[in-house]
Structure 1
């Protein structure tokens, strides 16, 4: 019943769009957004939906960046991954015997469909672990459950060590200059890698039981980037324990997709009714907007860098005067105040705080958010009243 409902939400004949680790990391960062959880869980193309709504988002990598990243990854994995394995050994296993290229296993992971590839990956990991040598898995497929729905993610590589441990490898095209890279980009890569580590954990438990060896997914991943301004690879070990704990906790908080879908009006659908070209949406934007608004959202400015629907949600948040449009930090400081209008009213000398559900006295006198707003408004008024532009001193020469 739940799967059939999700198919209805996509529309007849529309194949589900797969989730990737980048989307899962963004979803875990905002678990309160039922809109994204439902659309991603149902496999709906949010980019196409945003364009049909008239709010396309400039989200995603440019074609140039994709081509550059593909070329760099091919260089890192050339010659059977010799350079990649050298970096893994150098950064994560110093003091142990180095991998011999001719003895490194590189199993074939091809299979029909993502579920078949995930099963083939699990088998290859188990066999490589039992063999007790080095192994390199190029683009393995892993399964992870998100809000009750299976999602398949594909890391750049997973390396099996002779001691039975597994390392996730992330290959990025941004540079690592003098041994360090842009902190924001490294953080995004760490959150993405944490999804892969999370997906590997149940596979490791199964391999442990089947092989009799102690199998461990390392919580330090290898980040491979171009060195300085060249195209030569360098690497750094990145500790993802914090990101792993956060991702595990946030994904566990997500409401099941079937529960969100069941709360929608019976005829709700996100079908774009594509024309014969398979690209042009023929459904009226007003109908689509009504369907989208039927699902609760949790907009924040951070969504602009992580979700295709962010511009649509921002427009609605600004139209409604929602304080969420100012950012999560501001939203948390304002307590029960939900709109900009309420905030401005509370900041006035006779302003009141949020309505008291018990019908008691005006809570504005005790609400710390209201008290802080009034104090800030008073300080602003005082500063503006006493502000005066000083006249230029006659003994000083003017600007030339």
Structure 2
């Protein structure tokens, strides 16, 4: 549900103040949104993304520059491959959609390619919605939407998303198309990269479902998306159908858990600003005023990961060792607390976590032939 006008205007003004009066907002894309949904407890990322802060620039200003992101070579190669896939009115792309997802439909000998040009993201979003409606209720031909603009509400703030393409089938159903530059070797691609592409496509599916819900009758948004990659080591396109139902459900659940951006903003000290032009001490104080939930997985998904990792290590937080380790340690949230419990300086010996730590420490000491606490038996007796 959109925010009331006065409330929404006040929030936009507040976010502009957080970003800095002379700093242009950075759009929240599907890649960033998928990463945000993967770590919904990180209020720092939520407010920075919601305010449109360029986290790469911010990380450099904090003295922890990030190597996160694609190289210019990879971007150029991806743009060249995408242009080839969409050449001739998207004939090859539509052929792949027909072959992989809808072989029972009429072959796409020709297709509609509506003009989606409009002013600003809001205008492009409205133009995309009209094109989708017209294609769904039209003549039943194939329709290709090249770089449509979709909107998705994220914690009370709209995020504008631009998939590579959306195809409207003759039966009126909609399919998301993701075009990537990593190769598909012998019909399969790197599972990690395919998983990242699936999570990104799931965000587009969610945004399309919101558009479909406003139409009567609501068209079907297909949960099998088309992933198009270069075939082997050539520049020829190959495609695979990817089911994103699991990724869609996880992303929907995680986005629902996100704290509303205005709630986070209300907790910040008056005058907080994340402008990279601020003095280092002031900027660091502003960033540290927002709680973060660092985990090693952030290194591949967030530009601020190096800064947050340094802070996490300085505080001795066990989250720096990974979410699985953090989950195993229960109430023990720092490395010092874990070591104290393991060596018998603190902790309830009846606590299963403390008992397991002490047994692990004793086994290690026994293996290394170093003094340690007595080794507890599984039944709780002490072995000497």
- When normalised by structure 2's length, the TM-score is 0.92
- The answer to whether the 8 Å contact 2:105/2:170 transfers is no
The equivalent position to 1:375 in structure 2, one of 359, 365, 368, is 359
Question: Which residue number corresponds to residue 393 of structure 1?
Answer: none
Q: Deviations over 1:255-309 (max 9, x none)?
A: 1111101001112111223xxxxxxxxx211111100000000000010111111
Q: Deviations over 1:108-164 (max 9, x none)?
A: 000000010000000000000111221000000000011100000000000000111
Structure 1 residue 11 and structure 2 residue 5: aligned?
A: no
d(CA) in 1 for partners of 2:28 and 2:80?
A: 24
Aligned partner (choices 252, 269, 285) of residue 265 of structure 1:
269
2:119 corresponds to 1:112: yes
Q: Distance in 2 between matches of 1:6 and 1:332?
A: 34
Give the secondary structure class of the aligned counterpart of 1:216: coil
Q: CA deviation at 1:13?
A: 2.8
Per-residue deviation, residues 163-215 of structure 1 (Å, max 9, x unmatched): 110000000000111111000000000000000000000111223x1xx4x51
2:146 matched to 1:138?
Answer: yes
> Aligned residues, how many?
360
Q: For residue 60 of structure 1, give the secondary structure of its aligned residue in structure 2.
A: coil
Match for residue 205 of structure 1 among 197, 209, 213: 213
Deviation at 1:40, TM superposition (A): 0.2
2:225 is paired with a residue of what secondary structure?
Answer: strand
Deviation at 1:367, TM superposition (A): 2.0
2:252 to 239, 248, 253: 248
Tell me the distance in 1 between the aligned counterparts of 2:292 and 2:271. 20
More divergent stretch after superposition (368-377 vs 142-151): 368-377
Moved over 4 A (4+): none
Q: What is the rounded CA distance, in whole Å, between the counterparts of 1:299 and 1:233 in structure 2?
A: 38
Q: How does 1:304-315 map to 2 (within 5 A)?
A: 304-315=299-310
| CA deviation string 1:200-236 (max 9, x = no partner) | 00111223x1xx4x51000000000011111110100
Radius of gyration: which is bigger? Answer: 1
Match status 1:333 vs 2:333: no
* Structure-1-length-normalised TM-score: 0.89
Per the alignment, residue 379 of structure 2 pairs with none
1:38 to 47, 55, 58: 47
> Counterpart in 1 of 2:377?
none
The structural deviation recorded for 1:96 is 2.2
3-state SS of the aligned residue for 1:365? coil
How big is the shift at 1:369? 1.4
Q: 1: CA distance between counterparts of 2:34 and 2:350?
A: 39
RMSD over aligned Cα, in angstroms? 1.0
